[in-house]
Amino acid sequence: MMTYDLVIVDCDGVLVDTERISSEVVSFLLKEQGLEMSPEEVAEGSTGLSETDMWLMYEAELGKSLSKDMSERLLSLEAERFRTQELRSMPGVVDAVRCLTTAGVPICVDSSGTLEKMLVTLGVTGLAGYFCDKVFSVSQVARGKPSPDICFLAAGQMGIPPSRCAVIEDSFPGAQGGLAAGMTVPGYCPDGDIWGLESLEIQTFNDMNGLPGLLGFERG
């Protein structure tokens, strides 16, 4: 079994259970703009996309520009919900990250979210200490997922060739980006393969407790 020189993890839906709250907030904001979109429809259409690409998609659907403060309001409303509604890490992820760290495996985060959002979510869930400054955002690159730009940034900053990296993704655009970068992409599917990741011919898993073994690292 191959082991890796760097493990890259997506943030939303892999490290932290943000996606339900985020989809509800986006649905609320879109309704204010005149676009009726349920949280479930938001999740289906935008999971894995950068915020910029998401807003462009909804502007095209609405046929007009959205308010200029959408991103500011999204971050503000999300942060309030994250702090007051017991935002949690994904089940088993703390033990998995601790196991990899104990094994001496370099680990970092790449995300379609902003650095500001990750500062809140990783802080609220107590995960920030595992990553410190090894957190990379789509706001630091030219193109969001499914482009491989964020994967190349993370690998480059960590000094590891992409071929020696595993990137853990839960979305179709994220998995596409990892594959385009030449990385191994285990697909995290806690609710089953609802996004069709297996169509990309990648290995999927549904339990974070099994991640270290899947990557070739034994628990201590």
The pLDDT tens digits for 35-76 are 999 999 998 888 878 888 999 999 999 999 999 999 999 989
* DSSP for residue 6: E
Distance CA 172, CA 176 (A): 6
Q: What is the pLDDT of residue 219?
A: 62
Each residue's pLDDT tens digit, 129-170: 999 999 999 999 999 999 999 999 999 999 999 999 999 999
Q: What is the mean pLDDT of residues 82-107?
A: 90
pLDDT for 82 equals 85
For residue 51, the model assigns a pLDDT of 87
The fold adopted by the segment(s) 19-84 is DNA polymerase; domain 1 (1.10.150)
If one counts every other C-beta atom within 10 angstroms of the C-beta of residue 125, the result is: 20
169: left (phi over 0), alpha (psi -120 to 50) or beta: beta
Q: The dihedral of CA 92, 44, 77, 56: what is its sign?
A: positive
Return the pLDDT at 55: 94
Q: What is the fold, at CATH topology level, of the domain defined by 6-17+87-214?
A: Rossmann fold (3.40.50)
What are the boundaries of each domain within the chain? 6-17+87-214, 19-84
The confidence score (pLDDT) of residue 44 equals 87
- The 3-class SS string of 39-84 reads HHHHHHHHCCCCHHHHHHHHHHHHCCCCCCCHHHHHHHHHHHHHHH
Token digits for 64? 């007009």
Round to whole Å and give the CA distance between 193 and 186: 12
Q: What is the pTM of this model?
A: 0.83
Number of CB atoms found within 10 A of residue 13's CB: 24
